[in-house]
Amino acid sequence: MEAVRRVNSTARAAGIVTVVLAALLGSAYVLGRSLVPDQTRPHATGVTTDATGPHYADQPPEQPSSEHPSTSQSAAGPAEAGQDGTGRDAGGDKLFGAHTDTGTARLALTFDDGPDPRYTPQVLAMLREYDVKATFCVVGENAQDHPDLIQAIVADGHTLCNHSWHHDVSLGNRSADQIRTDLVRTNQAIRAAVPDVPIVWYRQPGGAWTYPVVSVSRQLGMTPLHWSVDPSDWQAPGANKIASTVLTQAQPGAVVLMHDAGGDRQGTVDALRRILPELSARYELEALPTDPT
Ligand SMILES: [Zn+2]
């Protein structure tokens, strides 16, 4: 009898230990995921990243055009470019007609790779403080994980932009069906948070445009969106460098690329304290329209 009771109590203790361990492991996993979401995810896309580099980044060498931003690309018009379908080899145009400017004198700030619970709320608060509307190019899996942040972005009057499901910089090299599935899945994740929200912009991760990805995004009612000002904030060069690059390169119609996710973005958040008041004084800042023609 005593032996049985001892066994039972040992078994019960073991059971409790197991439950506690499972709970601890579970919360550690959740915590880890929320702290370093990018590192905990598989790089199914074959994107090369080094140990210190960010996972998500719209950066060279994937998009060498960012080193030489050219607003002349948009002059050809989105419909004309890339129609030969020769992909990346099409002349010098690596953008396939993706927009690099707003088409007006207004300037657009864009924030990529989120939403991220660490930085997106800070960016939203800053934008609210300076009464600035912007555009958020969100990653589908992050939208799925943080529907509350998608709702917050929309509630504040900002524009949403599809940035693919898993930030696949090679997406443009996949089949049209695969591209369509990826973009549709992303839009569905966004609309699971905000039903019927307009999603009329698509930004290819890495700026690695191809004719198929431009074509499919257009078929889905989205206009391909590139950029003209890139402070390379994904490299975390510091708030001063980010701010000075943006403020130096800004011009009427500019589309500014920044990131609210994909790594340590405190530099970007801090840079906004300088960028927002100065740019607001010089330009009209806009959320990209949700009914582009
Ligand atoms: Zn990106």
pLDDT in tens, 119-153: 999 999 999 999 999 999 999 999 999 999 999 99
What does pTM read for this prediction? 0.73
Distance 56 CA to ligand 1 centre (A): 5
Q: Shortest CA distance to 55 belongs to which of 176, 150, 168, 191?
A: 168
Distance 16 CA to ligand 1 centre (A): 44
Between CA 76 and CA 87, with CA 81 as vertex, the angle to 5 degrees is 145
Distance 37 CA to ligand 1 centre (A): 14
Burial class of residue 14 in the structure, from the number of CB atoms within 10 Å of its CB (0-12 exposed, 13-18 middle, 19+ buried): exposed
Q: Shortest CA distance to 96 belongs to which of 233, 202, 16, 25?
A: 202
Average pLDDT over residues 271-283: 98
Distance 112 CA to ligand 1 centre (A): 5
DSSP state at residue 107: B
Beta bridge partners of 40: none
- Contact between 206 and 259 under an 8 Å Cβ cutoff? The reply is no
Cα–Cα distances (Å) from 190 to 118, 164, 200, 205, 228, in that order, read 19, 11, 12, 17, 26
Residue 216 vs residue 9, higher pLDDT: 216
Burial class of residue 263 in the structure, from the number of CB atoms within 10 Å of its CB (0-12 exposed, 13-18 middle, 19+ buried): buried
pLDDT band at 55 (very low <50, low <70, confident <90, very high): low
- Contact between 158 and 194 under an 8 Å Cβ cutoff? The reply is no
Residues with a catalytic annotation lie at 112, 259
Q: Shortest CA distance to 255 belongs to which of 198, 291, 206, 203?
A: 203
Distance 49 CA to ligand 1 centre (A): 13
